[in-house]
Amino acid sequence: MQSQKKSLVNMKQVMTYILLVLLSIQAVYPIVWMVGGSLKSSSELYTNIWGLPEQVQISNYSSAWRDGYIGKYLFNSILVTIIGMAILIIAASLTAYALARLSFRGKNMLFYLILATMMIPPDIMTIPLFTFVKNLGILNKVYTLPTIYAAGGYGMAVFLLRGYFMGIPRELEEAMSLDGASKLQIFIRLILPIAAPGFITVLVTQSMSMWNELYLH
């Protein structure tokens, strides 16, 4: 009886390993295919679609960098992402802290309005957004696209950071306040370091979103 159970367990492990291998191949092969295709000549790319390159063409990378302006486009993407994240982090963190700690009329309504912006499909905003930017005279400016990206991720960033800020004990802020620290000093010296995981989450998710976005380009 025990031998049957042991063989059944071994069979389950073998099937699990086979499934994991298949899933790994499914995940890795597109990357291998992409890299292999980049090393093929133009003719081989069409005649040998699925196989590995018969003759490696390293010069394809230098040609793409030189003739395809890859360096310029890469720099533009990095610049847009950095500026967009800087705008987003500053605006969202200050808003989230105010919603988490300050008391003022209409605070909950403001929070719900910010969350409502996450429900608007970005595709339907394309034409109104283009018209708005054009009327402002900031079309094709270096700061326009990062600002739009920051506005697109503003709702999610505020939602995440507000949750982290509300999880910080108020006693820590009260202790710093008794020592004479202002609200801004408390925010910079206490809140920001403690809420670092929240900032990292926003940084990773929103920077990937900005980097991968192609529609508005």
CA distances 108 to 28, 31, 138, Å, are: 46, 46, 33
Cα torsion angle, 22, 26, 27, 33, sign: positive
Q: What is the CA radius of gyration of the chain?
A: 26
Residue 49 has pLDDT above 90, yes or no: no
Residue 1 has pLDDT above 80, yes or no: no
CB 149 within 8 A of CB 205: no
State the helix-helix crossing angle for 154-166 and 196-212, rounded to 10 degrees. 170
> The whole model's pTM is what?
0.73
What per-residue confidence (pLDDT) applies to 217? 62
Q: For the segment 156-178, what is each residue's pLDDT rounded down to a tens digit? A: 999 999 988 888 888 888 888 88
Euclidean distance between CA atoms 166 and 78, whole angstroms? 32
Q: How many other C-beta atoms lie within 10 A of the C-beta of residue 81? A: 20
What per-residue confidence (pLDDT) applies to 86? 94
CA angle in degrees (0–180, nearest 5) for 167-172-177:
130
Amino acid of residue 144: T
- DSSP code of residue 189: I
Identify the band that residue 216 occupies on the pLDDT scale cut at 50, 70 and 90: low
Residue 126 has pLDDT above 90, yes or no: no
Mean pLDDT of 46-61: 82
What region does 205 belong to: left with phi over 0, alpha with psi -120 to 50, or beta? alpha
Identify the band that residue 54 occupies on the pLDDT scale cut at 50, 70 and 90: confident
Q: For the segment 78-110, what is each residue's pLDDT rounded down to a tens digit? A: 999 999 999 999 999 989 988 988 888 888 899
Give percent above pLDDT 70 in the chain. 94
Highest mean pLDDT: which range of 63-67, 113-117, 177-181: 113-117
Amino acid of residue 126: T
Euclidean distance between CA atoms 72 and 81, whole angstroms? 14
